[in-house]
Amino acid sequence: MHRIHSDNATRGKILLTLKKKGSMSVEGLSKEVNITPMGVRQHLLVMERSGIVEYVVEKHGVGRPGFRYRLTDKADNLFPKSYQEFAMGILMDLESTEGRDRIDRLFRRRRERIMAGMDGLLSSANGLSDRLRVVADRMQKEGGIIELEENANSFRLKQFNCPISKIAVRFSEACDHDLQLLREITGRNVTRQQCLSNGGQACIYVVEKGPEGLSS
């Protein structure tokens, strides 16, 4: 029984690592999840048979080609989603009957509703770091896989799993208003370096530590 639980936990670590890092070699995964390369291969074989992992061959000049593993589209279903197909149908119907401006107004209202719902937590946050942690906690509760990093001049908020990713691919307004929401919450200059809806490995936001009010 313990062996089954251990295997599932290890495969979960491999799954999460590939979600965050993208394609990786067996050796790279071995270091990340702290098991032997042979152990990684055994888990990858099981996951490959389940259709959630596949490999690509990389050639490096003369010599044997290397293998890198990545998640399949099927694996994306293992991460939390928010009834996207139903919501997508409603949005497409609205677009066809009322126009694209109606979609923008909906996402603006969503942004305002989220902001209003976070007012209490944000009012008690002490500084930019605390405000970003409030945001990160909320995103995780909604099914996001979040990392928050800090350096001398900025914070980097990374979102590896978007609960409305399929909607965002079709309706970029979702991403635009998420960026604006983060600017309003932090009161800082915020830029987005990558976006899942554009094929990025994550949605990566850079939040400057400069004076408040620069984002307007």
Asked, for residue 216, whether it belongs to a domain, the answer is no
Report which of residues 150 and 78 the model is more confident about. Answer: 150
Asked if pLDDT for residue 63 goes beyond 80, the answer is no
Tell me the pLDDT band of 60, cut-offs 50, 70 and 90. Answer: low
What's the structural domain count of the chain?
Answer: 2
Residues 6 or more apart whose CB falls under 8 angstroms from that of 212 comprise: 187, 188
Asked, for residue 69, whether it belongs to a domain, the answer is yes
Quote the pLDDT of residue 212: 57
Asked if pLDDT for residue 1 goes beyond 70, the answer is no
According to DSSP, the β-strands at 154-159 and 146-150 are: antiparallel
Could you say which of 53, 76, 99 is where a domain stops?
Answer: 76
The rounded distance, in Å, linking the Cα atoms of 190 and 173 is 17
- Residues, the chain: 216
Q: Are residues 63 and 98 in the same domain?
A: no
CATH code at 46?
Answer: 1.10.10.10
Query: How much of the chain, in percent, has pLDDT values that exceed 90?
Result: 65
Could you say which of 58, 76, 94 is where a domain stops?
Answer: 76
The rounded distance, in Å, linking the Cα atoms of 185 and 139 is 13
**pTM score:** 0.68
pLDDT tens digits, 156-209:
999 998 888 889 999 999 999 999 999 999 999 999 999 998 889 899 999 999
Tell me the pLDDT band of 2, cut-offs 50, 70 and 90. Answer: very low
Q: Are residues 54 and 14 in the same domain?
A: yes
Asked, for residue 9, whether it belongs to a domain, the answer is yes
Q: Are residues 120 and 16 in the same domain?
A: no
The rounded distance, in Å, linking the Cα atoms of 145 and 165 is 13
Tell me the pLDDT band of 4, cut-offs 50, 70 and 90. Answer: very low
Q: Are residues 166 and 71 in the same domain?
A: no
Q: Of 23-32, 50-59, 73-82, 172-181, which range is least confident? A: 73-82
Q: What is the span of the domain harbouring residue 196?
A: 84-208
Q: Of 53-57, 81-85, 197-201, which range is least confident? A: 81-85
Region 78-94 average pLDDT: 82
CATH code at 142?
Answer: 3.90.1520.10
Report which of residues 89 and 58 the model is more confident about. Answer: 89
pLDDT tens digits, 109-151:
999 999 999 988 898 898 999 999 999 999 988 878 899 999 9
Q: Which of 67, 52, 207 is nearest to 127 (CA)?
A: 207
Asked if pLDDT for residue 25 goes beyond 70, the answer is yes
